[in-house]
Structure formats: structure tokens, C-alpha cells
């Protein structure tokens, strides 16, 4: 059973370009979460999605960032017009459907975004 | 605002000893607490979950305690091994969906 798959593992973008990060959850999981990890900082929640729905995006910057989890295909975190401060590791996690609070999160190995 | 504190300094211990890591929190009443392990360049891996009405949880060489009065969790690894060397993260959550709040982690180094 494949785990959470993220790609690319490393992404380099120049300032002003767009970055697209993809995440395929574990088989059978319908809940996807995106977290950002800056050097020397903890993981910060960004957004929680279910298929075709954004449930909570309270951790997403108001501008330039968007996320989706379509009916078919992976979840996408999109960063438009990247700036150097967007350089970080972006982790996706998934969990199965059902009551929350009992399920651990299954994380992918992240996409390391570098903005030059 | 919610704050989670983990010792930012690395913990160095000798193989065979018990490692104890601390997680303190303020301005929060979590329904549960989770511990994760993170290796360099990898995503966190779930280890243990403990609920607010539980005092202690064990899994093989791992033990977690949760004191909601002190607002503290202790994470113990007994008979530590060099392979246990990693960064350990605590995370707090509410009932409802998994919007976990993570600490910055403590790096554990186990020397042979």
C-alpha cells in the first residue's frame, strides 16, 4: 500500500514564477492536509481539504496561495508569483474518512521549494 | 495565542539509556496529543496518540504521559538505540478535524 506521494521532491523557481505542488493521498484516504515547514520552525497548518471541498483554509496566506483536491487526481497546492519567503518544505498529509481525533496523519516526504 | 514548547537543544544520550523529551503548552486545551518522528529530508511519522482523559500510553519501547493540569507531555524511549536518533515532534489537536498544532521538535542523538 503506497504511502502519501508528493512531487516534485525539489522545486526551484525564480521570483515571480508559479509553483505547483502535487499530493496523492494514501489509498482509501479522502482527507488531505497541507503543512509548511520553515527552517528552525515547526510545521504550520495551511489547509484541509476533502474531495472537491475546502474545509478549512485558515492557515493559507490570503494572496497568491490556493489549493484544490479534485474528484479525480491529486491535490494541488499552487503558489503564484513566488517570493523568496515562500522557500520552505511543504508537506502533505492524509487521513481516512470517519470521526476525527482518532486517526494519525500520514505524511509524504515533502516538496522542498527554493525561490531564487 | 497557542504555544507549544519543546526543548530546542539537542538531547545527547548513550545507547541503552532512557531518553525523555518534554512538550509543554499554553493557551490551549487539547483533546489529544500526538508524537511524531522526523528524519532529515523526510516527512513526520506517527508514533503515539494520547487523549486528554488518558494519563499514560505505551507502545513497545515508547511511553507517553499527558498531564493536563501541568499542560505537559513527556515522551520516553527506553533502551535507546542509535537508530532512534531523529527529531521528535509533539502535536496537539482538538476534537473535530485534524488541524494539528506542532511544536518545533527536539533532536535526539543516541551514541553507541
Say whether residue B31 is in contact with chain A using an 8 A CB cutoff.
Answer: yes
What is the mean predicted confidence (pLDDT) over A47-51? 93
Q: Using one digit for the tens of pLDDT, what is the confidence trace for B40-80?
A: 999 999 999 999 999 999 999 999 999 999 999 999 999 99
CB contact under 8 A, B101 and A91: no
Q: Find the Cα–Cα–Cα–Cα dihedral B1, A40, B102, A52, rounded to 10°.
A: 100
Is 70 exceeded by the pLDDT of residue A101? no
Long-range contacts of A3-7, Cβ-Cβ distance < 8 Å, separation of 24 or more: A3/A106, A3/A108, A4/A29, A4/A92, A4/A93, A4/A94, A4/A106, A4/A107, A4/A108, A4/B43, A5/A74, A5/A108, A6/A90, A6/A91, A6/A92, A6/A108, A6/A109, A6/A110, A6/A111, A7/A111
CB contact under 8 A, B98 and A109: no
Spatial CB neighbours of B74, under 8 Å, sequence gap ≥ 6: B20, B21, B22, B23, B64, B65
Residue entry with cell 520553515: A38
Which has more confidence, A63 or A39? A63
CA distance A105 to B94: 14
Q: In terms of pLDDT, which residue wins out, B92 or A103?
A: B92
Chain A contact present for B10, CB below 8 A: no
Portion of chain A with pLDDT greater than 70, in percent: 95
Task: Compute CA B12 distance to the chain's CA centroid, rounded to the nearest angstrom.
Answer: 16
Query: What average pLDDT does chain A have?
Result: 92
Looking at residue B94, what is its pLDDT? 81
Q: What is the pLDDT of residues A79-99, one digit of tens each?
A: 999 999 999 999 999 988 766
Using CB atoms, which residue from B4, B31, B98 is nearest to A95?
B98
The reported pLDDT for the residue numbered B70 is: 94
Amino acid at each position: 500500500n503506497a504511502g502519501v506521494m508528493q512531487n516534485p521532491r525539489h522545486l526551484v523557481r525564480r521570483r515571480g514564477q508559479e509553483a505547483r505542488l502535487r499530493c496523492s493521498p494514501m489509498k482509501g484516504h479522502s482527507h488531505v492536509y497541507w503543512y509548511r515547514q520553515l527552517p528552525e520552525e515547526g510545521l504550520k497548518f495551511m489547509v484541509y481539504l476533502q474531495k472537491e471541498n475546502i474545509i478549512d483554509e485558515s492557515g493559507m496566506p490570503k494572496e497568491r496561495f490556493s489549493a484544490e483536491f479534485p474528484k479525480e487526481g491529486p491535490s494541488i497546492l499552487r503558489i503564484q508569483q513566488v517570493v523568496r519567503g515562500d522557500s520552505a518544505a511543504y508537506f502533505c498529509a492524509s487521513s481516512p474518512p470517519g470521526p476525527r481525533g482518532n486517526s494519525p496523519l500520514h505524511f509524504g516526504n515533502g516538496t522542498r521549494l527554493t525561490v531564487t | 495565542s497557542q504555544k507549544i514548547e519543546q526543548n530546542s537543544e539537542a538531547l545527547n544520550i548513550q545507547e541503552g539509556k532512557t531518553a525523555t523529551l518534554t512538550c509543554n503548552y499554553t493557551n490551549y486545551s487539547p483533546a489529544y496529543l500526538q508524537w511524531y518522528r522526523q528524519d532529515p529530508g523526510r516527512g513526520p511519522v506517527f508514533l503515539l496518540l494520547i487523549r486528554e482523559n488518558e494519563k499514560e500510553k505505551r507502545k513497545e519501547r515508547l511511553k507517553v504521559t499527558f498531564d493536563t493540569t501541568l499542560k505537559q507531555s513527556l515522551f520516553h524511549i527506553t533502551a535507546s538505540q542509535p537508530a532512534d536518533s531523529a527529531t521528535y515532534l509533539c502535536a496537539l489537536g482538538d476534537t473535530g478535524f485534524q488541524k494539528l498544532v506542532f511544536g518545533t521538535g527536539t533532536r535526539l542523538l543516541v551514541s553507541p
